[in-house]
Copies of this chain bind each other. A is one copy, B any other.
C-alpha cells in the first residue's frame, strides 16, 4: 500500500494548490506584486509560509502561475471576440470594448496584469502575453487589409500600437476609483482603435 496516492489524496492536494493560487491572486489584486510576499500569501491561504513550497518550487513560480491564469483568461476572451463573427472593424471594436470593460470591472487585478511593478519573472511573462495580444490584433488587421476593408499598413505595427494604446488608456482609469464615465470611455476607446487601424470614418458607427 501507499506506493500510490489515493484519488482522494490527489484531489485534496490539488484543491490546496488551487486554493493557494486563488488566494495569491487575491493578494496580488489587493496589494500588488511587490507586497505579495510568501508570508502574506500563505497567511491569506491559511497555511504556513513553508507549506507553500510543497506546491511550488519558488515564489517566482507561484507568481508566474497567478499571472498566467489571470492573463490567459483575458487572452482567451479577447481571442474569441476577435475571431468571432462580423467585419474586422466590428470585431476590433467589440474586442477592445470587451477587454476594457472586463478590466474596469476588476481593476485591481487588471492593474496588476497590465502595469504594476513586478519581479522579473512576471515581467517576462507580461512581455510574452503582450506578444499574444499583438498576434490576435494582427490577425484581424491582416484580414481587414486582405478584404480591402482596411488601408494598406504594417499589421504588426498597428497591432502593437493597439496593444499599447488600450493598455495606456486604461492605466489611469484603473488607478482612480471612480466608476463614472465608463461608457464614454469605452466609446472613445473603441473609436480610437478603429481610427488607429484605419477604418474609414463613414464605417465607424456600429
Question: Which residues of A are in contact with B by a Cβ distance under 8 Å?
Answer: 34, 117-120, 123, 127, 130, 151, 153-154, 157-158, 160-169, 171-172, 184-185, 188-189, 191-192, 195-198, 201
Contacts and interface: CB of A to CB of B under 8 A. Distances in A.
Number of this chain's copies in the complex: 2
A20 B130 CA distance: 35
Given A119-B117, A168-B161, A192 B196 contact: yes
Contacts of A164: 164-169, 171
Contacts of A117: 117-120, 123
A123 B184 CA distance: 28
Interface of A, helix, strand, loop or mixed by DSSP: helix
Nearest to A191: B153
